[in-house]
Chains A and B, each alone.
Chain A
Amino acid sequence: MLKLESVKKVYCKHQDEVVALDTTTIEIARGEFAAIIGPSGSGKTTLLSMLGAMSAPSEGRILLDDVSIYDLPIEQRAEVRQNKIGFVFQTFNLVPYLTAIENVQVPMMLSQKFRTEQQERAEELLGTVGLQDRLHHKPSELSIGQQQRVALARMLANDPLIILADEPTGNLDPETRDQVLAFLRQFNEEGRTIIMVTHDLSAAECARRTLRLSEGRIQAGSDQNLLKTA
Chain B
Amino acid sequence: MTMGTIIWKEMKERPTALIASLLAIILSVTALVAIRNVTIFSEQEVAGKLDELGANVLILPEGVTLQDYYAADMHKETIPEEHVAELALAGLTGVEAITPKLCVPTKLDDRNVILTGILPQSEIQKMNAWSGGGMLFKKHEGCKAKINVADENLDAPDSLAERRALQHLNQSEVLLGSDFAASKGLKEGDQLQLLGETFEVLSVLPSTGTVDDSRVFAHLHTVQRLSGTGPVVNIIEVMGCCEDVANGLVGELQSLLPGTKVVTIANVVETQVSINRMMTNLSYLFLAILVAVGGASMASASFANVIERRREIGTLMALGATPRFVTQLFLAKAALLGLAGGISGYVLGSLIAVLLGPVFANVSVFPVPSLAIVAATVAVLVTLAASYFPARQASRLDPCLCFKEV
Q: How far is the CA of A97 from the CA of B315 in the complex (A)?
A: 14
Residues of A close to B317: CB separation below 8 A: 54, 78, 81
Count how many pairs of residues, one from A and one from B, have CB atoms less than 8 Å apart in the complex. Answer: 87
Decide: B13 and A96 in contact? CB cutoff 8 A. Answer: yes
Decide: B403 and A105 in contact? CB cutoff 8 A. Answer: no
Task: Write the chain A residue with the least CB distance to B2.
Answer: A109
Interface residue SS majority, chain B: helix
Q: State the B residues within 8 Å of A (CB).
A: 1-3, 5-6, 9-10, 12-13, 311-312, 314-325, 398-400, 402-403, 405
Decide: A106 and B316 in contact? CB cutoff 8 A. Answer: yes
25 contacts between A and B (CB under 8 A): A48-B403, A49-B400, A49-B403, A54-B318, A55-B399, A74-B322, A74-B323, A78-B320, A82-B319, A82-B320, A83-B320, A87-B318, A87-B402, A93-B312, A93-B318, A93-B402, A95-B316, A96-B312, A98-B5, A105-B1, A109-B2, A110-B319, A119-B1, A158-B320, A166-B403
Decide: B1 and A106 in contact? CB cutoff 8 A. Answer: yes
Residues of A close to B321: CB separation below 8 A: 78, 110
Task: Pick from B311, B317, B398, B402 the residue with the most CB of A within 10 Å.
Answer: B402
Residues of A close to B6: CB separation below 8 A: 95, 98, 106
Task: Write the chain B residue with the least CB distance to A87.
Answer: B318
Task: Pick from A79, A102, A106, A119 the residue with the most CB of B within 10 Å.
Answer: A106
Interface residue SS majority, chain A: helix
1/0 per residue, CB under 8 A from B, across A98-115: the answer is 100010011111110001
Q: Does A132 sit within 8 A of B, measured CB to CB?
A: no
Task: Write the chain B residue with the least CB distance to A197.
Answer: B403
Given that A102-B1, A105-B1 are known contacts, is A89 also in contact with B402, CB under 8 Å in the complex? yes
Decide: A102 and B320 in contact? CB cutoff 8 A. Answer: no
Q: How far is the CA of A97 from the CA of B405 in the complex (A)?
A: 18
Residues of B close to A108: CB separation below 8 A: 1
Decide: B318 and A52 in contact? CB cutoff 8 A. Answer: yes
Q: How far is the CA of A124 from the CA of B317 in the complex (A)?
A: 24
Residues of A close to B12: CB separation below 8 A: 97
Q: How far is the CA of A73 from the CA of B9 in the complex (A)?
A: 31
Q: Does A45 sit within 8 A of B, measured CB to CB?
A: yes
Decide: B400 and A55 in contact? CB cutoff 8 A. Answer: yes
Decide: A79 and B311 in contact? CB cutoff 8 A. Answer: no
Decide: A102 and B9 in contact? CB cutoff 8 A. Answer: yes
Task: Write the chain A residue with the least CB distance to B10.
Answer: A97
Contact of B320 among A45, A48, A91, A110 (CB under 8 A): A110
